[in-house]
Structure 1
Amino acid sequence: MMLQDGSTQLLCLTASSGVPLFTRGASRQLPFSIIGSLNGVHMFGGGHGVLLSSCETEGGGKVVWRVFHDSVMLIAVSGGGSSGEEEIRLQRLLENVWNSMVLVLGQDELLQLRNVERLKRDLRSCFCLIDELLEEKHQGLLGNLTHCADSLLPPNPAVLQEAVDGFAQAADSEFGCLFVHGRIAAATEKWWRLAPQEVVLLSALVRTLSASGSASCDHPVFLPLGSPTVAHRLLRFQLLPGADVCVLCGPTPSLLRAEVQLVGQFWSPLVETLRSCLLIGERSLPGSVPLRPDVLALLLINRETRRCVSCVQLSTHHALTDPILSTPRCWELLKLFYIFCMSRYFTQEETCWVAPEDRAQGGPTEELQHGFSHQPQQCYLVAEECKSYGLQTQQHQLFLLMFPSVPTFALRKVATQTLSDIISATGF
């Protein structure tokens, strides 16, 4: 085994010559000889008409390769985990890392490899965002995996929506967004029209900028799908600790004018409203949404808007009869159950872990689904730590973790009631 269990290392090389550009993740980096071997075996396969996309090591590790535009090769090496689920996670990681490099540097900079040493220096500006994706520092944010925007449903959405629309318009922009605890609380219509991958990466970028401690910043960004070669300005302002607003705009307004004139005009009257949003915290749902005490965690996806809300609810109600799970373990189990459902049963609007060049060949999901005479709409999983239930409708997907003591026959009722309660209270 090349790495310790649970650790992941990311390697970036030039596709043509295999020159290392950077490595991120894992405290103990792989030796240069192993990096060269990983690149060499991929090149050997390509020279014989074989596309090597992944393999499993004798020690249970996983290696995944991906070449982007015949220019950059990304390799993800994981120390362990369930084979199928781990490959899905790593494939999504490589896709996100490439898009984050485009977001910061632009596609032209990555395709025109005239000066490798200069590119190495330029890529350092991507490290904070790449580490955000690699290390998953912010617990409970699943957008990197689902490619749905992590959202927070505020108790008074109309007031915040009006403020975001007005603030963006005053900043000569149609793209504005309010973040609370790293989740989107309100955004303009054009912001939601961005590609889901772009919305997720912009959210991650804003989190890294906010973590830097600056009250405001003016950051150039390229939209990986919408505008990979022409930069836009991302203006970000901290309204309160944990609450940030940003706009995508052109040459105007200046950062100083927006900070001095516009931020106070639109957001000073809403300080108490913002504080009420901050109190929601990681629950992501307003207090008006009742959750049954036997629900451990949930992930709810709106398939039309590509938004998601998620939360963990630890209760002492079942402490005497059920195992006690930590919050990080609940998030981990929720991710694994999501991958389990999406890789075997449910459909999705985008093929998130199959490379474009591989899609024509089909994958395990397609092969498994061909065995059904219908499209599965619900599934469940019973394990020692919890019971899980997945529910898919035309508009929503719900993934629910419940205590083991909940009767298996009652799982469906709990799931349908939870979905109904959230939709009726929030309109999500």
Structure 2
Amino acid sequence: MAGSVQLLCLATNSGVPLYCRSKGESRQLPFSVIGSLNGVHMFGSNQDVLLTSTCTDNTRVCWRVFRDSITLIVMSSEEDASDLYLSRLLDNVFGAMVLVIGLDDLVNLKNVERLKRELRACYKLIDSLLTASDWIGDLTLCVDCIVSPDAAILQEALEVFVAAAQSNFGCLMVMGKVVVATEKWWRLAAQEVVLLTWLVGSLAPNSSRDYPIYLPQGSPTVPHRLLTFQLVPGVDVCLLCGPTPSLQQVQTELVERFWNPVLEPLKTCLSLHQCTFPICIPLHHSIIGLLLINREQNKNLFTLQPHGVESSQLPATVLSPERRRSVLRQFYTLAVSAYFPAEASEDKPAVLLEEFHAGFTHSPTECYVAADDHKSYGIQTRQHQLLLTFTPETPTFTLRNIATKTLNLLTKEVPF
């Protein structure tokens, strides 16, 4: 299951490497290898052939060119690597570069050495996209969320706080997952909201920040200010604003005034970080991983501890958190690539499809996998996708019934 990932960024016209980031036990690639990887793509392009991906026995490689200016190449030997994941990874990496330094410097490559220095500011965010974590929004293109029983109280506090700060864009975040947000925050492009949460989650904890950012789709050339304030350790409130107000003004005049009265609900949110929803919801004991996606609102709930149980308390036969994460990501990739294809639209890239066998004419709404160490079941409705991982002892004939009841329970009990 262990593997490595290498990400290369080059100037398209010159082939000059701008940076190389890696995950796992991977060594710095020699320049000759980098040149060969770029050269084969350029050769294909000169022959009117678009080379997007290839694979060897143990490595998958993907290429993408953005704005005829930046070439990104990713190589992965991880078990759960797929063309879908790697393609979305490259989209997110370029989006991260635009988010942090803006589009102008990426399109107008006048000074390569200066661009290399500027791109260092992107490294923490890019590294977080390469690293397995408690988030899955990089793959689903939906925002990782937490459902709090005090959501109404926190929403009201957020609305008045954001209005007092002369903004319309704000959200409350716990360990990189959104609890509540303003209506206009949710109106941002899905990738922008995902990258903003990953950016905050990837930065070192700080009592407050005033961070210049660009919106990859909404404002790629004009910067905004991202203000963040730590309310309690692990809980941040975020604002998008223009030149005013100042960080100090919001910190001294507004933060304590609006958030001190809801201190206890904030602490309660922190306890929901792993489970993502109140543990009083009675899920079936055989479920060991859960991904619920709201397709209309581009949100998801993702947990490897659906019962709020620590790994040390689980039976020895239950998969490790790392294996559960990999299994759920692989199952999501299989489901949306082969069985639940999304309709291509202006704001959502077309999913990479796998061809069905001849004669397969209907559109499936459910699918399952039965493996040696786990079982998985997925359901798609007009509004939701639910993907579950089960213990291997769970009878296969019961998966559909458990999954259907779980979807009904979550969509009724959880306002999601």
TM-score range, shorter chain: over 0.9
Q: 2:19 aligns with which of 17, 22, 46?
A: 22
CA-CA distance at 1:279 after TM superposition:
1.3
Partner of 2:63: 65
Q: CA deviation at 1:316?
A: 8.9
Tell me what 2:212 maps to.
220
**SS of equivalent residue, structure 2 residue 127:** helix
The offset of 1:87, in angstroms, is 2.0
Task: Please list every run of 5 or more consecutive structure 1 residues that lacks an aligned counterpart in the other structure.
Answer: none
User: Quick check: 1:173 aligned with 2:167?
Assistant: yes
Paired residue secondary structure (2:192): helix
Q: Give the direction of change, closer, same or farther, for the CA distance of 1:216–1:379 in structure 2 (3 Å limit).
A: same
Report the Cα distance in structure 2 between the residues aligned to 1:317 and 1:141, rounded to whole angstroms: 23
- 1:202 matched to which residue of 2? 196
Instruction: Report the 3-state secondary structure (helix = DSSP H, G, I; strand = E; otherwise coil) of the residue aligned with 1:282.
Output: coil
Give yes or no for the alignment of 1:403 onto 2:370. Answer: no
Q: Secondary structure at the match of 2:225?
A: strand
CA distance in 1, matches of 2:175, 2:9: 31
Q: Within the alignment, does 1:311 sit opposite 2:303 as a pair?
A: yes
The SS at the match of 2:196 is helix
Find the residue that maps to 1:281 and give its secondary structure: coil
Contact 2:84–2:352 (CA under 8 A) maintained in structure 1: no
Q: Secondary structure at the match of 1:158?
A: helix
Correspondence for 2:55: 56
Give the match for residue 385 of structure 1: 373
Identify if the C-alpha distance between structure 1 residues 80 and 334 changes in structure 2 by more than 3 Å, giving closer, same or farther. closer
Correspondence 1:23-422 to 2 at 5 A = 23-26=20-23, 27-57=26-56, 59-81=57-79, 85-136=81-132, 139-209=133-203, 212-313=204-305, 319=315, 323-348=317-342, 350=344, 364-365=353-354, 367-368=355-356, 372-422=360-410
Quickly say closer, same or farther: Cα 1:324–1:135, change in 2 above 3 A.
Answer: same
Contact 2:341 2:353 in 1 (8 A): no
Q: Count matched residues.
A: 409
The answer (yes or no) to whether the contact 1:64–1:75 under 8 Å persists in 2 is: yes
Give the counterpart letter for 1:71 in structure 2.
Answer: S
Worse overlay, 24-33 or 173-182: 24-33
- Paired residue secondary structure (2:82): helix
Rounded to whole Å, the distance in 2 between the matches of 1:317 and 1:101 is 41
SS of the aligned residue for 2:274 comes to helix
Alpha-carbon deviation of 1:327?
Answer: 1.4
Once the two structures are TM-superposed, the CA of residue 231 in structure 1 deviates from its matched residue by 0.9
Deviation digits for residues 403-423 of structure 1, max 9, x if unmatched?
122111111110011111112
What is the TM-score when the length of structure 1 is the normalising length?
0.91
Task: Deviation per CA, 1:104-132: give whole Å up to 9, x if none.
Answer: 11111100001111111111111111111
Post-superposition Cα deviations, 1:286-327, rounded to whole Å, max 9, x if no partner, equal 13322111111110000111100011236899838xx33111
Q: Please give the alpha-carbon distance, in whole angstroms, between the structure 2 residues aligned to 1:369 and 1:208.
A: 43
Query: Once the two structures are superposed, what CA deviation does each residue of 1:119-168 show, in whole Å capped at 9, x if it has no partner?
Result: 111111111111111123xx321001101000000011100000111111
Quote the offset at 1:349 in angstroms. 5.2
Counterpart residue type for residue 143 of structure 1: G
**Conserved? CA contact 1:61–1:81, under 8 Å:** no
What is the CA distance between 1:364 and its match in structure 2? 3.5
Query: Where do 5+ consecutive residues of structure 2 fail to align?
Result: none
The code of the aligned residue for 1:232 comes to: H
